[in-house]
Chains A and B, each alone.
Chain A
Amino acid sequence: MLSDYLPIVLLLVIAAGFAAVNLGITHLVGPRKPNPVKLSPYESGVPNIGDARLRFSVKFYLVAMLFIIFDIEVVFLYPWAVVFKDLLAQGTFVFTEMVVFLGVLVLGLAYVWRKGGLEWD
């Protein structure tokens, strides 16, 4: 059972190890001769003004929320797809119920669209 997850663990270990090893090697091997110009964010000589941490526009929030809501919708589709054939043998309600569920959310999508929620301005 648990050994089924060995590839995933292996992947995680390799990914983390690759990053750590590379960073470690460059840290150890690479030459370091810092000077103020080199340490500035843009070595091209463009002087930096202000802070890099700008306040993001609230529009990103709209996009992120829409993403979450439809993400959850998709999560519901996954077990439905798994049991669809089994339940279809007992009647078509398994199809109808998902049509209703998706129908409500499609109406929601149409609403967002018409309200201009999918446009940036």
Chain B
Amino acid sequence: METAVFYVLATIAVASAVLLVLFRNPVYSALSLVATLFAVAGLFVLLNAYFLAAVQIIVYAGAVMVLFLFVIMLLNLGHSEALESTVGRYRLTGVIFLCALLVAQLTAVGTRQLRGPVAENEALRTENVQTLGKLLYTDFLFPFEVASIILLVALIGVVVLVKRETPETT
């Protein structure tokens, strides 16, 4: 059962990722990316990473995709001919590089070099969020506080880059 679900989700993820690249209209591409993100969220559920699945949907499929669509509309990317000319020159190089990467990955997985026994963690499966929360708010407390400063800097950066410098003089 789980294997079947895995293959369904993996197929959706890969197929919509391929479509994301193939679509000419950036809005379609963005929506295709949403499908990929949902499928990956499903894969996280299969791995018992419930919290990660929820975050994937709330933050990525929700908030980040909204930003993607906004940017597409901000730049008015209805017509992608401009992109075409610059990308075209590097297409062959890109394809060769990616094929080489694919072969390398397949051989690594195929020769089982990257596999080994996987330790089953019962706590992670049944109490995923609790385990994660305890780790995050005790051992990883310091990185958590640093994250707040990073968010703060991002906040300031947005205002610096978007907001008019002195509203009264403009």
Contact = CB atoms under 8 A, between A and B. Distances in A.
Interface size class on chain A is 35 or more
Nearest to B162: A62
A75 B132 CA distance: 13
A107 to B, nearest CB: 7
Contacts of B70: 56, 60-61, 64
Contacts of A86: 130, 134
Chain A facing B: main interface SS: helix
Contacts of B137: 79-80, 83, 87, 94, 97
Interface in A28-60: 51, 53-60
A111 B155 contact: yes
Contacts of B76: 53-56
B78 interface: yes
Nearest to B158: A65
Contact of B129 (A79, A105, A117, A121): A79
A60 B135 CA distance: 36
A8 B151 CA distance: 32
B155 A69 contact: yes
A93 B134 CA distance: 12
B87 to A, nearest CB: 21
Contacts, number: 140
B138 interface: yes
B5 A104 contact: no
A61 B55 CA distance: 22
Interface string B39-78: 0000001101001001100110011101100110111101
A46 to B, nearest CB: 22
Interface stretch (B14-22, B107-115, B141-149): B141-149
B2 interface: yes
Interface of B: 1-2, 5, 45-46, 48, 51, 54-55, 58-59, 62-64, 66-67, 70-71, 73-76, 78, 125, 129-130, 132-134, 136-138, 141, 144-145, 147-149, 151-152, 154-156, 158-159, 162-163, 167
28 contacts: A2-B1, A53-B76, A53-B78, A55-B75, A56-B73, A56-B74, A65-B154, A65-B162, A66-B158, A68-B64, A69-B154, A69-B155, A71-B63, A72-B59, A72-B63, A78-B54, A80-B136, A83-B134, A83-B137, A87-B138, A97-B145, A104-B149, A104-B152, A105-B148, A111-B155, A115-B163, A116-B163, A116-B167
Closest CB pairs A-B (n = 10): A79-B133, A83-B133, A104-B148, A68-B63, A55-B76, A56-B73, A65-B158, A108-B155, A71-B63, A101-B148
